[in-house]
């Protein structure tokens, strides 16, 4: 992987994005599960998911039309980014 410091910097510039990406690195989850697991408000989780999705770091694993039970997972780019964040000890 080419180290993409722009993406790493984008993720670690927000504690919310960092913890949401880290949680999804453990496995797929719904926004409600993520909020519970990382002790964040659901609105913060949703905002973080949207911004991570815009950067192709996480993806929706169910049809876009579904409003309830939306499951998100980490993409390969997201996993590589998270691995780099962990390797360089950049997560708070």
Q: What is the pLDDT of residue 2?
A: 53
Q: What is the pLDDT of residue 59?
A: 98
Instruction: Please write the tens of the pLDDT for every residue from 30-84.
Output: 999 999 999 999 999 999 999 999 999 999 999 999 999 999 999 999 999 999 9
Place of tokens 């990382």: 38
Q: What is the pLDDT of residue 89?
A: 94
The C-alpha atoms of residue 62 and residue 70 are separated, in whole angstroms, by 6
Domains, the chain, ordered by start: 5-86 (1.10.10.10)
Q: What is the pLDDT of residue 23?
A: 98
Q: Say if CB 67 and CB 88 are below 8 A apart.
A: no
| Whole-structure pTM value | 0.94
Residues 6+ apart with CB under 8 A from 23: 29, 34, 37, 38
The C-alpha atoms of residue 41 and residue 1 are separated, in whole angstroms, by 33
Instruction: Please write the tens of the pLDDT for every residue from 2-37.
Output: 568 999 999 999 999 999 999 999 999 999 999 999
Place of tokens 């080419």: 2
């Amino acid at each position: 992987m080419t180290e993409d410091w722009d993406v790493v910097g984008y993720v670690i510039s927000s504690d919310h994005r960092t913890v949401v990406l880290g949680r999804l690195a453990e496995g797929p989850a719904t926004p409600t599960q993520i909020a519970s697991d990382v002790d964040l408000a659901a609105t913060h989780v949703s905002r973080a998911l949207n911004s991570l999705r815009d950067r192709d770091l996480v993806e929706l694993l169910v049809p876009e039309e579904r409003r309830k039970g939306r499951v998100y997972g980490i993409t390969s780019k997201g996993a590589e980014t998270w691995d780099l964040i962990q390797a360089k000890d950049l997560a708070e």
